Amino acid sequence: MDKTVPPGRVKGTLTPPCSKSYAQRALAAALLSEEVSVLRNLEFCDDTRSALQCIETLGARVHRVDPTSLSIEGGLAPKGRVLNVGESGLSTRLFTPVASLCPTPVTIEGRGSLLRRPMQMMFEPLRRLGVRVRDNGGFLPIEVCGPIQGGEVEVDGSVSSQFITGLLLALPLAKRDTSLHVHGAVSTPYLDMTLDTAARFGIEISQRDYEEFYIPGRQHYRSTYFSIEGDWSAAAMLLVAGATAGEVTVRNVSMLSKQADTAICTALVRAGAAVINEEDSVTALHRPLRAFEFDATNCPDLFPALAALAAAADGVSVIRGTSRLEYKECNRSEAIREEYAKLGIEVDTSEEDLMKIRGGKVRAARTQSHGDHRMAMSLAVAALRSDEAVEIEGAESVAKSYPGFFGDLEHIRV
């Protein structure tokens, strides 16, 4: 689907979809409870639907309470031998350890760009924990057969924290206690989200500096009532729209959230935007914007939003952490450089782990999302400052995380 986004100003209040990161963690935890949990404020984007399909395949009995709420009776009792995770990297690395609790073989398969994303960091740790693994040269599909035993194991956390999340949620049900030694953990706020989710379901995990985790075995997930908070990754796009083209208030978000992408507010302030923080909402207002420096190593999903912000700032902004972008839905570093060049914005990625963006006028162009939901949203926000309309190929990719994005953007036009 192509989308044409004309320039214009925005002003209004929006509620972004729920955090898909929290939603997928909560769905997994509800599966692992043998009681009935209720999850509220769910938005059924593609990634959340993939996680929901996984827990149903693994034995959860799911009932729709209302359009945004589910009642989930947990309990591992696989109804099939294949988990289809769609294009969700988190569901892949989360449900592989969870499936490894099962004493029967389970195959994890996906589609699209996920088939090019590396998974080899999971195999050796799982084998050391007693799981039989049939890999596919480091990529999906893979097959696991448990039950996972627990013990002492080392894990490389330098590529992604998602597999660590899967281990942290699965290993409390192992027969043995586990000492998990993590090397080079990145995106540590996402691990905080995992520990928070586990604690809400009654699970105890201790950790030291994100390098050592101690996970007692033979624990029990208790049922809980879980209202999923708003998604800061989606909120970041809306707030950048406000900062660059008007005024936007985002509801159902809190700066006290454990989500990594609350850091967008730091970048907005550094760029000179006005930011108003209230109990359950944040507002960004346009002011003259200046170049800024920002380290996105622990919040790489912010890069597309930061690119739109930097394109509107006077001077050269410097953003660190590009090493985290190669294995997303696309190579986001190259996609940002290529697509923003079409818009007349210079993006330099020649230095290691660094992106420099020179702000300036945005010109009309035909751009591509590269099948990446965050790229599609970034280009749409940048288009608000264009001299004429910007066309975006592959705009349907927003369904992965924010199906209503384009409708919401139109709703706040003035």
Contacts (Cβ under 8 Å, ≥6 apart) of 254: 229, 279, 280
Is 301 considered catalytic here?
yes
CA dihedral 24, 26, 27, 28 (to 10 degrees): 90
SS3 373: helix
Contacts (Cβ under 8 Å, ≥6 apart) of 320: 293, 294, 295, 296, 297, 353, 354, 355
C-alpha 135/C-alpha 273 separation (Å) is 48
Closest CA to 105 of 134, 126, 128: 134
C-alpha 284/C-alpha 289 separation (Å) is 12
Token look-up 């050592």 returns 212
Backbone angles phi, psi at 71, to 5 degrees: -105, 125
| Structure tokens given for 366 | 């035909």
SS3 321: coil
Residues counted in the chain: 414
Contacts 24+ apart (CB under 8 A), 265-273: 265/239, 266/294, 267/292, 267/294, 267/302, 267/306, 267/309, 268/239, 268/240, 268/243, 268/309, 270/294, 271/243, 271/309, 271/310, 271/313, 271/317, 272/313, 273/242, 273/243
Closest CA to 348 of 379, 316, 377: 316
Query: What residue spans of 319-370 are helical by DSSP H?
Result: 332-342
Other Cβ atoms less than 10 A from the Cβ of 404: the count is 17
Orientation angle between helical segments 46-57 and 20-32, nearest 10 degrees: 10
Closest CA to 51 of 9, 93, 113: 93
Is residue 197 within 8 A of residue 22, CB to CB? The reply is yes
Among residues 261, 301, 372, 408, which one is catalytic? 301
Catalytic residue numbers, as ranges: 301
